[in-house]
Structure 1
Amino acid sequence: MDTRSLTMRSFATVLMSAVLASMLAACGQDTPEAPVAQETAVPEDLQTAEAPPDPAEITPEIGTPMAERIATLGVLNKRNNVSQDLEMKPGEARRLGDVIIRLSACERTPPWEMPRETGAFVQVLTIIKDADAEAEDRWKRVFSGWLFKNSPSLNVVEDPVYDVWVKECAMSFPGEASPPASSAPEPAAPPPDNNET
């Protein structure tokens, strides 16, 4: 190395040392005090006001009461490819072989809200077989959460044997038009038998 390179390195080392020393020196200085918040008076009309009422107390439940709603859940046994629909009310539990499905709640968005969504809070329990034939079987919760009809990937039942999904939540809202009972015409009565023998 030539002397010019050594001089540049020495200069860079001295400069870095000076910068670091000045930064460390700044750490020892007193920091300015934080400003103190000024206390202000509460207006008189707000001093005697009562706390606002709880919205749940003044707002009646919109739509069908929870106990009267009916959810339709689809259940698939992946081993034998058998699927079936379960119609359940919140609070019900059903056992299908080695699985228990519990429904805690079902909801759907009112017709005036977008995007439309239907969901249900579901718990799925599966049986754990013990090697000992005399031992009692135990249940393991494999899922507990909300399932959504239009967004099934948000929350998925991760079980190797069973799959559960929401199909519908039957409930109504005030002002909602009830669906027509049937738009198809009723079949005509069969013609009378005129065969005379």
Structure 2
Amino acid sequence: MKRALSLLGYSIVGLTSVALGGCGQSGDAAPEATEVPKDFASSGPSAKAVESQFGTPVKDRVATIGLLNKRNNLTQDLVMKTGESRRVGNVIIKLANCERTLPWENPPEVGAFVQVFVEERASVQEKLAWHKVFSGWLFKDSPSLNTVEHPVYDVWVKDCAMKFPGEEEDPAAYASSSSAAKASGKASTAPAVAPAPSASPSAAPSPAPAAVPAE
């Protein structure tokens, strides 16, 4: 009797382990690892974007954000619309806005306001929780102004897709016209110096008295 009960207990344990193993291999668990939690998806970026009178409206701009996982040295590009949140593993990136300098401004610069959240433990005793590790502007050509300081992840801005009025024809039209105006201003001073050579030939008639001996 005891032997029968023990065999029954082993069979129940075996069936339980198989059931748990089957749940662990369910195909529904994998997509959840890349979905943005409802708290993040329902609420937009905490930083409110400020509209500019020039260029594409903020809601229509698209930024390309680079993400590096230092553990496996994998890099990927995230193409995001303003106000969008994207989750990759245990990191969430939220894009509030992206900007780039006007076509006639130098030096050119591209920036994006992003927020980075990482699901991690603050200590060994605590549970996994989402922590904000960065919130601010990142600049493509001036990365030292602001950096994402995290031991595992690195985030940077690569591009901001937006246009300014008249940029379709010639983005540097204003710059070229202004430089041409400056060049014409310098050229206008040249004629003031030009009369000097013309005055020297006028002194040439002085040999005319030499023709007096011909009388």
TM over 0.5: yes
User: Does 2:139 align with 1:148?
Assistant: yes
Show structure 1 runs of 5+ residues with no match.
1-55, 180-197
Equivalent position to 1:125, from 108, 111, 117: 117
CA–CA distance in 2 between the matches of 1:85 and 1:178? 29
Equivalent position to 2:86, from 80, 94, 97: 94
**AA at the equivalent of 1:127:** E
Match of 1:72 in 2: 64
Match of 1:158 in 2: 149
CA–CA distance in 1 between the matches of 2:156 and 2:77? 10
Moved over 2 A (4+): 129-133
Match of 2:21 in 1: none
CA–CA distance in 2 between the matches of 1:79 and 1:178? 45
- Tell me: CA distance 1:89–1:131, structure 2 relative to 1, closer, same or farther (3 Å): same
CA–CA distance in 2 between the matches of 1:68 and 1:76? 26
SS of the aligned residue for 1:75 comes to strand
**AA at the equivalent of 1:168:** D
What's the offset of the Cα at 1:166?
0.4
**AA at the equivalent of 1:170:** A
CA–CA distance in 1 between the matches of 2:124 and 2:145? 38
Number of residue pairs matched by the alignment: 121
Higher share in helix = 2
Matches within 5 A, 1:5-154: 61-129=53-121, 137-154=128-145
- Tell me: CA distance 1:97–1:62, structure 2 relative to 1, closer, same or farther (3 Å): same
What's the offset of the Cα at 1:115?
1.3
Match of 1:176 in 2: 167
CA–CA distance in 2 between the matches of 1:130 and 1:142? 12
CA–CA distance in 1 between the matches of 2:61 and 2:138? 16
What's the offset of the Cα at 1:138?
1.1
CA–CA distance in 1 between the matches of 2:65 and 2:120? 23
- Tell me: CA distance 1:174–1:80, structure 2 relative to 1, closer, same or farther (3 Å): same
What's the offset of the Cα at 1:129?
3.6
CA–CA distance in 2 between the matches of 1:123 and 1:173? 26
Query: What is the root-mean-square deviation of aligned Cα atoms in Å?
Result: 2.6
CA–CA distance in 1 between the matches of 2:95 and 2:114? 5
CA–CA distance in 2 between the matches of 1:85 and 1:131? 31
- 1:41-66 deviation line (CA, Å, top 9, x unaligned): xxxxxxxxxxxxxxx99xx7211000
What's the offset of the Cα at 1:178?
6.3
What's the offset of the Cα at 1:128?
1.8
Show structure 2 runs of 5+ residues with no match.
1-49, 171-215
